[in-house]
Amino acid sequence: MSLPTLLSQHIVRRPQRIALLQHIAEQGSITRAAKSAGLSYKAAWDAIDELNNLAQKPLVERSVGGKGGGGAKLSSEGERVLRLYQKLQTLQAQVLEAAEDASDLNLLGRLMLRTSARNQLHGKVVEIEAQGRNDLIRLELAEGLILVAQITHDSTLRLELQTGTEVVALIKAGWLDLLGIDDEATPGHNCLTGTLEEILDAEDGPSEVRIGLPNGQTLCALAEPLHLRTHGLATGKALRVQFSPSNVLIGTPL
């Protein structure tokens, strides 16, 4: 396939989220598309973030606010993926007819990993640096954005990583530390600059914070309201996100 294997697996594994592209194309609004797809407004935003992060280029172009909860339309890449999804629907029907037993489909489902990590960023390996028993894996995300993961050398061998290997970087929301644009970062940590796009306050516990990266990908972090106020972090403001390379997990296609 012309799309990365990881994105194509996502299409097969989570068809409801991919089908959201069709609803966005038809409705032109995130709110209306979510309702039409049977998703909550928040679930629709999460789906768009995940799809954009896994693709080489953003699939959905959106504007926050406005009538209907914000306008949205498919990018040219999104239109291409939607056409692919429609072809896969036809192939899926053929596969279901060919399956000899329902257990065949259950087995395939077990072999396709799902993860609780909120941040799943598609990238490729551009450098592997040995450091004793560990390796530093330098990853290039969309638009040349770089981050570093630290994994054991055994993991590098098991995943068969080499320069050019396409991977997904997995980072839990709670592992991200939000800094003001002028705050000093921890030496050796990844530190990405972005824009605070949205704060979803919780009744009890930390707020969920969405950060837009300059390459079009999105990070989700957790932060206490007091931390946000102390660092002067508010919607629309620039900030930095730091996280240890050891907190970056790497996934590859089966």
Structure pTM? 0.68
pLDDT in tens, 16-62: 677 888 899 998 888 899 888 888 888 888 888 888 888 878 888 87
Q: Which CATH class is domain 5-111?
A: mainly alpha
SS3 string, 42-105, reads HHHHHHHHHHHHHCCCCCEEECCCCHHHCEEEECHHHHHHHHHHHHHHHHHHHHHHHCCCHHHH
Identical fold for domains 119-167+247-251 and 173-245, yes or no, is yes
The dotted CATH code for 119-167+247-251 is 2.40.50.100
pLDDT of residue 135: 97
Own/partner pairs for 133-138, CB < 8 Å, 24+ apart?
136/245, 137/161, 137/250
Say how far apart CA 74 and CA 62 lie, in whole Å.
9
Q: Tell me what pLDDT residue 104 has.
A: 59
Two tokens, residue 16: 């409801």
| 233 phi, psi to nearest 5 deg | -95, 125
pLDDT at residue 65 in the model? 56
Task: Name the pLDDT band for 72 (thresholds 50, 70, 90).
Answer: confident
Tens digits of per-residue pLDDT, 120-146? 898 999 999 999 999 999 999 999 999
pLDDT at res. 90: 74
CATH architecture of 173-245: Beta Barrel (2.40)
Strand pairing of 190-200 and 177-180? unpaired
Structure tokens belonging to residue 3: 């799309």
Q: Going by DSSP bridges, is the β-strand pair 60-62/72-74 parallel, antiparallel, or unpaired?
A: antiparallel
Cα–Cα nearest to 234, from 202, 197, 190: 197
Read off the pLDDT of residues 160-204 as tens digits, 9 standing for 90 and up: 999 999 998 999 999 999 999 999 999 999 999 999 999 998 878
pLDDT of residue 10: 47
Average confidence score pLDDT of the chain: 83
Q: Among 63-72, 101-110, 199-208, which stretch is predicted with the lowest mean pLDDT?
A: 101-110
Q: Do the Cβ atoms of 136 and 128 come closer than 8 Å? A: yes
d(CA 153, CA 114): 24
C-alpha span between 65 and 152 (Å, rounded): 44
Using 50, 70 and 90 to split pLDDT, how confident is the model at 4? very low
- Name beta bridge partners: 151: 135
Report the alpha-carbon distance of residue 218 to residue 173 in Å, rounded: 11
What do you get for the CA distance between the two ends of the chain, in Å?
15
Q: For the chain, what are the domain ranges?
A: 5-111, 119-167+247-251, 173-245
Q: How far is CA 93 from CA 10, 63, 126, 189, 241, in A?
A: 17, 35, 39, 47, 43
Q: Among 68-77, 220-229, 233-242, where is mean pLDDT lowest?
A: 68-77
**Strand 218-223 versus strand 207-212 pairing type:** antiparallel
